[in-house]
Structure formats: structure tokens, C-alpha cells
Chains A and B, each alone.
Chain A
Amino acid sequence: GAVVSQHPSWVICKSGTSVKIECRSLDFQATTMFWYRQFPKQSLMLMATSNEGSKATYEQGVEKDKFLINHASLTLSTLTVTSAHPEDSSFYICSARDRRTGVYDTQYFGPGTRLTVL
């Protein structure tokens, strides 16, 4: 149980275009999903917290208008990188909070999406 998928696993796009990444919880309902970014040899940096049916909460320094997050259902959240530039190239990872664990927050992660902006 507690499987999270991401699509696509990798994407190459031209500068100025927008890219959408999907995150799905396959066997559980996730009222909360998280989006992270990881630079090479660094830790995971939380970008935003996404709650089903409400606006995402962004971490300090993350541009809301550039990284659009939609959490339309209990099993799907999307991250859209708008007007992508080469500096947006990174490894994007989503996670979903499994409420079956009770009070504590065990997050299960997707496999990640490698974005390369040319």
C-alpha cells in the first residue's frame, strides 16, 4: 500500500513553455500532498503544501505564479511550471500524506520528475 506515482518521469522543454507534472496516490486518499525540489547532492526543499479543494501554501521564496499547484481530487495534485527557464531545471518530487497512519505524518513519495529546460 501507500503508492504514489508521478508523470512524466522526465521531460525536456524549451525555454518559455509550461510543463505540467501529475502526482497521484494510487491506493489511498491524500487530503494533503507536498511538492519538493531537489538540486544535485542536496536535500529535498519543500516548495508547497497542497490541500484538496483549497489553495496551496507556498514556502518562502517560492513564486506562486510560476509554480501553479492544483489539488482537484483526493488522489491527484498537479504542479505546472509556467514560462520555464533553464534555472528551473531540477528534480521535482511529490509526496502524499497517508491519513491511515493516524495523527502522525508519514509521507510517501513519488518517483520524481526530471525537468530539463533548454
Chain B
Amino acid sequence: DQQVKQNSPSLSVQEGRISILNCDYTNSMFDYFLWYKKYPAEGPTFLISISSIKDKNEDGRFTVFLNKSAKHLSLHIVPSQPGDSAVYFCAASGDQGAQKLVFGQGTRLTINP
């Protein structure tokens, strides 16, 4: 039972354009959502998060949007840079106060020069 899904295993975007990564969840008890960036053989790096009381959170080039009715969140990166090439994981927490994060499968983003 995959509670957090990233349906696109990969995404290719031209440098300077906007990258949009999507994530869907099924558990309505989740109340906190995070995006992590991961390079091979390294631990995930926290990027940005959003709580369920908001629908948008922005930090520099990164913006996360949350649509609770659709159980969908997205990460926008603009403008995309070559250093953004990595695997991006969305994660969710909050089910019955649980501390643990539930991760999606990840999306590999490639920024082309």
C-alpha cells in the first residue's frame, strides 16, 4: 500500500525553465509534507516543507504547493539549474501523531544545458 506516490520516475527540463515535480498521497491524516533532494551515495538533503494549514510555501527558487482536496502536492523549481539534477523525494508525516516519514518512490530530475 503506497501511501505516498511519485508517478513520474524521471523528468528532464531545460536549464532556466521551470521544473515541476508532483506527489500524491492517499492518507488524509498526513498533516506535514516535505521535499528532499538526494545525490547518489549521499543522504537526502531537506529542501522545503509545508503544513496542512497552508497551501503554498516559498523559499528562494523552491515553492511547494499543497492541494488537500486533491491530496496532491508539487514542488516548483524556477529557474532550474544544472546543480538541481538529482533524485527528489516527497515525504509525509502526521498519521495519528506518528513521527515517521512516509516517502514516495522518488523522481530523477535532469536539467539539460
**What is A's interface to B at a CB cutoff of 8 Å?**
2, 4, 6, 32, 34, 42-44, 46, 49, 91, 93-95, 97, 104-112, 114
Given A104-B93, A109-B36, 12 extra CB contacts under 8 A: A43-B89, A43-B103, A43-B104, A43-B106, A46-B100, A49-B100, A93-B44, A97-B99, A104-B32, A109-B44, A112-B41, A112-B43
Partner of A105, one of B36, B101, B105, B106: B101
Q: Given the complex of chains A and B, what is the CA–CA distance between A104 and B57 in angstroms?
A: 15
Q: For chain A, what secondary structure do more than half of its interface residues adopt (helix, strand, loop), or is it mixed?
A: strand
**A106 and B99 contacting across the interface, CB-CB below 8 Å:** no
Interface size on B (CB < 8 Å)? 22
Q: Is B49 an interface residue (CB 8 A)?
A: yes
Q: What 8 A-B pairs have minimum CB-CB distances, sorted nearest first?
A: A109-B43, A104-B32, A109-B44, A112-B43, A111-B43, A105-B93, A43-B103, A43-B105
Given contact pairs A104-B32, A105-B32, A105-B93, A34 touches B42 in the complex (Cβ within 8 A): no
Q: Is B51 an interface residue (CB 8 A)?
A: yes
- CB-nearest residue of chain A to B32: A104
Q: Is B45 an interface residue (CB 8 A)?
A: yes
Q: Is B34 an interface residue (CB 8 A)?
A: yes
Q: Given the complex of chains A and B, what is the CA–CA distance between A114 and B93 in angstroms?
A: 27
Given contact pairs A93-B44, A106-B46, A111-B43, A42 touches B105 in the complex (Cβ within 8 A): yes
Name 6 interchain pairs, CB-CB below 8 A, sorted by A. A6-B43, A43-B104, A46-B101, A94-B43, A97-B99, A114-B41
